[in-house]
Every structure is written in C-alpha cells, then in structure tokens.
Structure 1
Amino acid sequence: MHSSIRIWDLTLRDGEQTPGVAFSPQDKLDIAAKLDSVGVHHADISFPSSSAQECEATKKILAAGFAMGVNVTAMMRPEDVVLAAELGADEINMMAPLSDVHIEKKFGQDRKTITRRIVEVFRYAASRNVRVNFIGEDTSRADQGFARDVFQLALDNGADKLVICDTVGVMEPAGMGEMTHALIAGVDPAAVFAIHCHNDYGLATANTLAALEAGVHIATVTVNGIGERAGNASLEQVVLALEKLHKVDTGIDMRGLYDLSRLVEERSGMLIGIHQPVVGDNAFTHESGIHVAAMLKDTSTYESLSPEYVGRRHRFVLGKHSGKNNVRRQLELLGLDFDEQHVAAITNEIKQLFAQGSGRAASVVEQERTEPARFGLSEEKFTEIARRIIGES
C-alpha cells in the first residue's frame, strides 16, 4: 500500500443517484465546503449534461475556489467535453463500459465501437486542453485482458487517472486484490489508478482496502456510503481504516467526519444506520452493565478507538441490561444524595420497566433525532424514578 492515499469523494454525484435524493445547488455548495474543510483531495460534484440545475451547482462550487480538486462526470461524447470545459471544471471523468453485458445489452454496441469512441473523445479533449480521467464501468465483470488493453488505450490517449469499478458490487477482497494487482501490472507503471466499489454484498469498504493494498493510489467514496442500491464505499469507514489499521496518512481531518456525516444526512434525507461504524448512534454507546463497569475503569476495554478522534463522545444509556455502576454514575451526574439501597432499587425498577417493554424507545420514524439518544431511558424518566425512590426511602 502506498504511504499516502488520496480520497476522491463522489457524494455530490454518485451519492446523489440514491433514489429519493436531490441536492439543491446550495446543498451541493455547503457539502462541498465541508468536504474541502476536512481535507478531501478530489470531489466529483455533478453530471452537468443532465440538467441546467447541475450546471448551476457546478458554477457555484467552482466559483468558491476550494483547495480540493473539483471534477465532473460525463458520457463519452464530445458535447459533454465542451460543456465541462466551458464550466471550467478541473477535470472531466469520462465513463465507458468495459463488460460485454454493458457494452452489448446497455448500449447495443461492440468492443471495437467502444474503443474507437474512447480514442476519438480523448483526442478531442486533448485538443481542448482538458484534463480527463477514464472510468471503466463494470471492470469487475469485464474480460480482464480487454479491460487492461482499454485502460492502456485511455492512458495512451491522455487519461490522467484510471478508475477500476466494481459497479454492481460482486467482488470479494481476495479477488479484488488479484484483479487490481493484475491490471496495475499490465499497464504503464506511471499510471495512477483509483478504485470505485459498490456495497451490494456489504463488502465495498473491504474491497476498497484490498485494492489499495494491491497498489491503487486513490479511494473513491461517499459520505455515509450513500449511493445507488446498497450504496458505495463509505468515506468515514475507509479513511478510519486507513489511518488506524493501516497507519496510512490520508490528510483528512478526522474530527470533522461526524459533522460532515450529519450534514449529508440532513441534506440527503438518508438516515444514518443505528449501527453504522464511526457515525451511527450506537458506535460509541454502551448499556450492558458489564461493559459500562469496565468502561468506567478504562475505555480501552470495549473501545479500540477514542470517539473524540472522529468528533464523537462516549454515551452510556440505561435499559434492561444496565447495572448499578451506570445508575450510580447517573445519580452522581444529577447531584443527588443516595445510598446503595437507592442504587439497587432504581436499577431494579429500570430493568423491570424494560423487561415489560414499556421502556422501549420509539422507532426511527416516530422519534426525532435529538440528544439524548433515541434508545435507552430518557434523562427525564430516570430523574423521575430516582427522585421518587430516594424521596420514598
């Protein structure tokens, strides 16, 4: 794996292709500003040929003068090159199919037609002094000899970066490592490769890391892993794994990840999964009595990662599995005078409350995302129980 890995975010283009998501130009500008502030190296912000609104959003972002590279995606057509060049994008991502199923069934064409189009459009882009990247759609299901030849062809005709795509998420890490290693070995050593993985089998992050271990230079990701079907490789998961598990410098401000995640959640309307790593509500939340007792002594017992590292904090909630240590801690935080009989009585009542089901939290749909957590006993209910029991004894 390279000592430094670049992060190429696709939230504003591929992420927006999530069914039901539609970013306004202002949404895109606000998210782009946050991506830039955390240190993302490149951002694919739009598909300009799709609408006038996409062009407006592109102009707003380019006018902001962000430090990160700003690129747009286009089909393999001269008119798309012209539009992107007129907008002033730093780079254009030109997309073409590599698998026969896409070439034949999606486009009704053959391999020769595709390769001829790549040469024509890339040479045209070069004549316009436009920097272009080549996205090999559905690389993982392509004939690998053909895929290798097309990547080299794109490189020979001016491609700046080459993107290997697991478009329908069918790879597993071992196979991904073998495929990417072979493709890299079969193309000019000067080539710069990126990896793009979808999450259909829940392996997008693992496959991305496998490709990076095989020598790919750039990870393409989306915030919260949003995207078509099951989504894309998650920015926060990939970056965290690189930084903490692989000891690779990504240049990303880790403390800004949670705020970025929540901004994308708010603007996209796609709720973050409760158990989603790094940014999910339960990522640093503890209820079990045994776990909380250990955590109060040393947080490393049940967390390998400090939540502050990614802009989060520990959270201890009260519920069916809570023990006296957590109850005692909550009473101390409230500043109440108590003894061990009070602690035992309060703990027992909380357990009984949840055992009967009446303490169950509201569903995601029913309850607004606010602090304290959606799950566990609310602070108000705990205070009411504690004051009643302490006052009665």
Structure 2
Amino acid sequence: MKPIKFCDTTLRDGEQAAGVVFSPEEKREIVRGLAKAGVEQAEIGIPAMGEEERAVIRSIVEMGLPIQLSAWNRALKEDIDASLLTGVNWVHLTIPTSDLQIKAKLHMNRQEIVSMIRRAVSYAQKFNLGVSVGFEDASRAYTPFLAELVLSLYSDGIRRFRYADTVSVLQPVTVREKIRSILGECPEDVELEVHCHNDFGMATANTLSALEAGALWASTTVTGIGERAGNASMEEVALAWKHLYGGRTGLDTIQFKELAELVSAAAGRPLPPAKPIVGTMVFTHESGIHVDGMLKNRETYQSFDPVEVGAEHRFVLGKHSGWKTVAHILRQKGVRPERELSDELMREVRLEADRNKRLIEPDELMKLLDGVRSTRTVPDLQDEE
C-alpha cells in the first residue's frame, strides 16, 4: 500500500472559518510547523485577494522550506497572474462541477466549464507552473462527467485532481463508490485528492473511505479548522490511517500536539479538551476501573501510545476514581498508601468532587488525607513504601 500524502489547507480553507485571521508571522510559523511535520504540500493563500495577501505568500516562499507551496485560484487568467507575482511554482485551479453550481454561479453548461478550465490550465502551463485542478461541489456533480473531465485534462498533461465535498453531503459508502467509479475510468498515474467538510461530523470518515478507495492525497487542516463546521483533521486522518487501516504516511506525528496548539492560539479558538488526538483530556483517565487496568498494562485502555503525538497519559482524581488511582497519586507525592484509610479517604474524595464539580489536584488530596488522619490514630504515612 502506497503512503498517502497530505495537502494542508489551514492557511486557505482554515482561515476562511468565520472570524479567523492569521497574522503574517503566524502564517510563517504554521508553515514552518507543517514542514517540520513532513507535510508534502501546503495551500498557503489566495493571491487574487490583494497585494497584502501576495506579500505574505511571497515571504513564505522566500523561507525556502522543504514543503511544496501552492496558491489557490479560480480558473481565471487574472487569478493565475496574481499567483505568478508571489513566486509560487504550483497553482491549484478550481472550477464548479455540479449542475447546480455551474448554472447558479457561472450561468454556463458542462461543455463551457470544460473549455473554461482547459483554457486556464493551458495559460498556467505557459509559465511552467505545477497545476492541480479542483472539482468544486464534486459530491453533487454527475460522476461520469467528472471522469470525462479528468480524461480531458489528462490529455492536457494534468495528473492531480481534487474531489471536493464542498457542502458535506457524502457519507463513507457513497464516497467510496464515487471515488472508485472515477478512478476506474482513469489512467493509473492519476492522483486524486479528497477534500471533505464536516457539517455532519463525517469529514475524517469520508476522507479515510476515499483513501481506501484509491485516492492518494488527503486535503486536511490542522485540528480540522475551516469553513462552517470545518474540514477533515490532519491528525485524525493520519493516525486513523495508520492504526485502523494499516496504512502509511510520511508525517512526523510527534509534532501534532505542538502544531495543533499553534494553530489554535493563532485562530483564537481554544482546543476542546476532548479533541481527538490532540485534546488535553484525550489521554487523561479518571475512572477507577480504567486506571487500575492501565497501571497493570497500558494497552488495556489505549489504542495507541500517546508518545506518537507528543503527549502522555495522565491519571486524575475525581468522582469516579478508585483506590488504585488514589494510591498511585500518593506514591507520586512520596506518601505510602494505607489501605485501612481507603474507605474514609475515598468518601472525602467523592464528596469534594461533588461539591466543586471538578477534578481534585494532588495537593488537595494531601489536605483530604490530613483531614482523615486527624480523626484517627494512624501510623506515620510519610515512611517510604
């Protein structure tokens, strides 16, 4: 199985999320982090937006990072001209492909769309630019038309195509069928990229299904940030592809946590504690049964080692904790656990958690222990174990 590749669009689709604005320095830091993580390509902006945007894109190009940089364009000569001013050597050209969008947005028909994108491709190729073509609203397009479009552009020298679930109407079964149908009509060296949105919470699942069906590229964003409900998350796709599908990527996943925190801070959108892969609570355990199992063998309640993503397990105290958790934390504090105190101490732990509706910190546990000890005559608990 070939390793899948990633085209990160955090600086394009990610910044299109309502209210998100990355500063020039934040954009450079994000691309630096993507390159460090081994991401193959980054879509770094829309040059047609204006000179300010082009200046930032130029500054990223001038960094000389080991990552392919691409600019996003409509299938228009003026957009390509704007990209040429930035110094990028790769452009992504997008065109509506569903009958709904073809008519509503451009007042055209399918054949006019074919002519329009082929003209744009030909113009970009005059400047020796690498070109990928994006099929906007592909998930609502007539699939045989998409296959015909691929073949037409293939004859023009294009090998890379993006299948976009623009309004998030796919589910894993249908995307698998559609991707297989298109690739079944195409030469083997066609590289299909899938770009999924998350309105129904299926962006990662749909992306994985498309990859399983033969797509080579995953168009993702860090943490899944993007238009509306966002995009497929790079972290989720990469780890699921490895652990659930037995696939390979070229990414250094240990960089994920730092990269996610960088993008989250730059976007002004705090990471949800339970965000898969990179959330602060993903490897945090409170339940007594779970902690007991993990103290015996970490694999009892983990599907992969958090070290893979630059994180670590954390055992915390709360309403559902058991004595094994308490004893573990006491040992970490240099205190010998006394089983004869367990019932009273556990009762105090649960009462405290109920009162405050939060976790109990280790220092708070020590105070609860002192309170229990003060009501009984017990041996010195400070002896070494």
TM-score bucket of the superposed structures, by smaller chain: over 0.9
Other-structure match for 1:240:
239
Letter in 2 for 1:256: Q
What SS is found at the alignment partner of 1:331?
Answer: helix
* In 2, Cα distance between equivalents of 1:324 and 1:94: 60
Q: Structure 2 matches for 1:27-106, cutoff 5 A?
A: 27-106=26-105
Give the structure-1-normalised TM-score: 0.92
Letter in 2 for 1:275: A
Other-structure match for 2:176:
177
Other-structure match for 1:333:
332
* In 2, Cα distance between equivalents of 1:124 and 1:251: 33
* In 1, Cα distance between equivalents of 2:142 and 2:136: 12
What SS is found at the alignment partner of 2:11?
Answer: coil
- The superposition leaves residues 235-287 of structure 1 with CA deviations (integer Å, 9 ceiling, x where unpaired) of 00110012222232211111111111111111111222222211112211111
* In 2, Cα distance between equivalents of 1:248 and 1:229: 29
**Which of 345, 360, 364 is the equivalent residue of 1:377?**
360
* In 2, Cα distance between equivalents of 1:332 and 1:190: 59
Contact 1:176 1:210 in 2 (8 A): yes
How many Å apart are 1:157 and its aligned residue? 2.5
Other-structure match for 2:302:
303
Other-structure match for 2:379:
none
* In 2, Cα distance between equivalents of 1:154 and 1:97: 15
- The superposition leaves residues 139-197 of structure 1 with CA deviations (integer Å, 9 ceiling, x where unpaired) of 11001121211222222233241111111111111111110011111223321111111
Letter in 2 for 1:30: E
Other-structure match for 1:373:
none
How many Å apart are 1:384 and its aligned residue? 2.4
- The superposition leaves residues 3-38 of structure 1 with CA deviations (integer Å, 9 ceiling, x where unpaired) of 211111111111111111101111110000000001
Farther off after superposition, 219-228 or 247-256: 247-256
* In 2, Cα distance between equivalents of 1:197 and 1:283: 24
What percent identity do the matched residue pairs reach? 35
* In 2, Cα distance between equivalents of 1:379 and 1:290: 19
Letter in 1 for 2:110: R
Other-structure match for 1:288:
287
What SS is found at the alignment partner of 2:15?
Answer: helix
How many Å apart are 1:391 and its aligned residue? 4.4
Extract unaligned runs of 5+ from structure 1. 362-375
Other-structure match for 2:357:
360
Other-structure match for 2:116:
117
* In 2, Cα distance between equivalents of 1:25 and 1:317: 39
Letter in 2 for 1:360: K
How many Å apart are 1:108 and its aligned residue? 2.9
* In 1, Cα distance between equivalents of 2:337 and 2:323: 12
Other-structure match for 2:144:
145
How many Å apart are 1:338 and its aligned residue? 4.5
Other-structure match for 1:195:
194
Letter in 2 for 1:106: K
Runs of 4+ off more than 6 Å: none
Contact 1:25 1:56 in 2 (8 A): no
What SS is found at the alignment partner of 2:356?
Answer: coil
What SS is found at the alignment partner of 1:250?
Answer: coil
- The superposition leaves residues 315-372 of structure 1 with CA deviations (integer Å, 9 ceiling, x where unpaired) of 11111111111111111111134522333322111112233xx2213xxxxxxxxxxx
What SS is found at the alignment partner of 1:74?
Answer: strand
* In 1, Cα distance between equivalents of 2:109 and 2:23: 38
Contact 1:126 1:158 in 2 (8 A): no
* In 1, Cα distance between equivalents of 2:58 and 2:151: 32
* In 1, Cα distance between equivalents of 2:186 and 2:288: 56
Extract unaligned runs of 5+ from structure 2. 377-385
- The superposition leaves residues 287-312 of structure 1 with CA deviations (integer Å, 9 ceiling, x where unpaired) of 11111111111111111211111111
Letter in 1 for 2:168: G
What SS is found at the alignment partner of 1:276?
Answer: coil
Contact 2:55 2:86 in 1 (8 A): no
How many Å apart are 1:92 and its aligned residue? 0.3
Other-structure match for 1:388:
371
